[in-house]
Chains A and B, each alone.
Chain A
Amino acid sequence: MEKDPSVSSAVSRRHFLQGVGGATAGVAAAALVPTAEAAAAASNTKGTIPAFEINSAMPSIPSLAIIALNRIAFGPRPGDVAAFEALGNTDDERLATYVDQQLAYDPDLNADPEYKSRLEVFTPETTAKTLGQLWADHYRAEGVDYSVRTQPLREIERLAFLRAVYSKWQLVEVLADFWHNHFNIYAWTAPIQSIWPHYDRDVIRAHMLGNFREMIEAVAKSPEMLYYLDNESNTVNGPNENWARELFELHTLGAENYYGVISQDAVPVDSEGFPMGYVDEDVYEATRCFTGWTVSDRDSDELGDTGQFIYVEDNHDRFQKRVLNGTGNIPATNIPAYQAPLKDGMDVLDLVAYHPGTARYICRKLCRRLISDSPPESIVTSAAALFRAQKNAPDQLKQVVRHILLSAEFRTTWGFKIKRPFEVAVSALRATNGDMPFSLSHGDSNSFMYYFNPMGQQLFRWSTPDGYPDFQSPWQSAMSILMRWRLLGWLVEDRDVDDSYHVDILAQTPANIRTANGLADFWIERILNRPMDASTRQIIVDFMAQEAEGPDAELDFDNNRVKGRLRTMVALILQSPDFNWR
Chain B
Amino acid sequence: MSKVTRRGFLMGCSAAIAHMTGARLSYTAFGSQEQEPNQPILLTVFLRGGCDALSLLPPISGDDANYYHLARPDLSIPDSGVDAALPLNDKFGLHPAAVPLYDLYNAQKLAFVHAAGLKSDTRSHFDAMSYMELGTPGSKATTTGWLARHLRSLGADDGVVPALAADSLQPQSLQGFYDAIATQSASSFNLNVGYSYWRESHQASLRNLYSQSSSSMHLAGRQTLDAVQLFADQGVGNYVPVVDNYPNDSFSNKLKLIAQMIRLQVGLRAATIDLGGWDTHDGQANGGAPAAGYFASLVTSLAAGLAAFYNDLEAAGSEYTNRLTIVVMSEFGRRLRENNERGTDHGHGGMMMVLGGQVNGGHLYGPWPGLHTDQLYDRADLEVATDYRQVLSEILVRQMDNNKLGYIFPGYTSYAPLGIVQGADQPIDYSPSLNDVYLPMVIR
Chain A residues proximal to chain B, CB less than 8 Å: 9, 12-14, 17-33, 35, 37-38, 40-42, 44-46, 48-53, 55-59, 230, 237-238, 240-242, 245, 249-250, 255, 258, 260-262, 280, 415, 418, 454, 456, 464, 466, 469, 472-474, 476-483, 485-486, 489-490, 493-494, 533, 535-536, 539-540, 542-543, 546, 561, 564-565, 567-568, 571-572, 575-577, 580-581
Contact = CB atoms under 8 A, between A and B. Distances in A.
Contacts of A245: 124
A255 B440 CA distance: 31
Contacts of B31: none
A482 B221 CA distance: 8
B182 interface: yes
B432 interface: yes
A52 B440 contact: yes
22 contacts: A23-B129, A23-B276, A24-B167, A24-B274, A26-B169, A38-B139, A40-B411, A42-B141, A48-B433, A56-B216, A260-B122, A454-B188, A464-B125, A478-B183, A478-B228, A479-B183, A480-B182, A481-B221, A533-B212, A540-B205, A546-B201, A571-B202
Contact of A48 (B213, B294, B432): B432
A561 B341 CA distance: 66
B194 A24 contact: no
B321 interface: no
B48 interface: yes
Contacts of A580: 217
B402 to A, nearest CB: 16
Interface of B: 20, 48-49, 120-127, 129-130, 136-144, 149, 165, 167-172, 175-176, 178, 180-185, 188-189, 191, 193-195, 197-198, 201-202, 205-206, 208-210, 212-218, 220-221, 223-224, 227-228, 274-283, 294, 339-341, 343, 345, 378, 407, 410-411, 432-433, 437, 439-440
Nearest to A454: B188
B144 to A, nearest CB: 5
Given A56-B214, A482-B224, A575-B206, A489 B140 contact: no
Contacts of B20: 542, 546
B194 A58 contact: no
Determine chain A's interface SS by DSSP, over half rule. Answer: helix
Given A45-B142, A58-B215, A25 B340 contact: no
A52 B130 CA distance: 19
Given A21-B276, A480-B169, A572-B206, 15 more contacts: A22-B49, A23-B276, A24-B169, A27-B127, A27-B129, A44-B411, A52-B143, A52-B440, A261-B122, A415-B215, A472-B217, A476-B220, A482-B224, A482-B228, A577-B212
B169 A477 contact: yes
B218 A482 contact: no
Contacts of B280: 14
Contacts of A542: 20, 205
A44 B432 contact: yes
B49 A18 contact: yes
Contact of A478 (B215, B227, B279): B227
With most chain A CB atoms within 10 A of its CB, the pick from B122, B172, B195, B439 is B195
Given A13-B281, A474-B169, A493-B195, A25 B212 contact: no
B302 to A, nearest CB: 12
B138 A41 contact: yes
Contacts of B439: 55
A25 B224 contact: no
Contacts of A52: 143, 176, 178, 216, 440
A577 B124 contact: no
A33 B138 contact: yes
A59 B217 CA distance: 11
Determine chain B's interface SS by DSSP, over half rule. Answer: loop
B176 A572 contact: no
A21 B182 CA distance: 12
Contacts of A56: 213-216, 440
A262 B49 contact: no
A572 B197 contact: no
B217 A577 contact: yes
A548 to B, nearest CB: 13
A178 to B, nearest CB: 19
Contacts of A481: 220-221, 224
Contacts of A478: 181-183, 220, 223-224, 227-228
Contacts, number: 299
A571 B201 CA distance: 13
A242 B165 CA distance: 29
Given A17-B125, A27-B130, A27-B172, A539 B209 contact: yes
Contacts of A466: 126
Given A476-B217, A477-B170, A567-B194, A48 B138 contact: no
B37 to A, nearest CB: 22
B168 A21 contact: yes
B152 to A, nearest CB: 9
A477 B165 contact: yes
A21 B217 contact: no
A50 B436 CA distance: 13
B140 A29 contact: yes
A526 to B, nearest CB: 17
B197 A35 contact: no
Given A478-B224, A482-B224, A546-B201, A49 B143 contact: yes
Contacts of A24: 48, 167, 169-172, 274
B185 to A, nearest CB: 7
Contacts of B183: 477-479
A482 B167 contact: no
B355 to A, nearest CB: 20
The 5 closest A-B pairs by CB, nearest first: A22-B276, A18-B277, A493-B194, A38-B138, A477-B182
A532 B283 CA distance: 57
Contact of B279 (A18, A31, A581): A18
Contacts of B274: 21-24
Contacts of B191: 482, 485-486, 489
A48 B410 contact: yes
A51 B143 contact: yes
A437 to B, nearest CB: 20
Contact of B189 (A418, A482, A577): A482
Contacts of A456: 168-169
Contacts of B184: 479
A49 B168 CA distance: 26
B213 A57 contact: yes
B311 to A, nearest CB: 24
Contacts of B136: 41-42, 44-45
B283 A9 contact: yes
A30 B141 CA distance: 5
Nearest to A46: B141
Given A44-B411, A56-B215, A473-B216, A29 B168 contact: no
B168 A479 contact: yes
A568 B202 contact: yes
A21 B167 contact: yes
With most chain B CB atoms within 10 A of its CB, the pick from A38, A41, A469 is A41
With most chain B CB atoms within 10 A of its CB, the pick from A27, A477, A561 is A477
B127 A486 contact: no
Given A14-B280, A474-B169, A280 B189 contact: no
B6 to A, nearest CB: 14
With most chain B CB atoms within 10 A of its CB, the pick from A46, A482, A565 is A482
Contacts of B138: 33, 35, 37-38, 40-42
A17 B141 contact: no
Contacts of A576: 209
Contacts of B345: 241
A81 B167 CA distance: 39
Nearest to A571: B194
A33 B169 contact: no
Contacts of B168: 20-21, 456, 477, 479-480
A238 B215 contact: no
B206 A25 contact: no
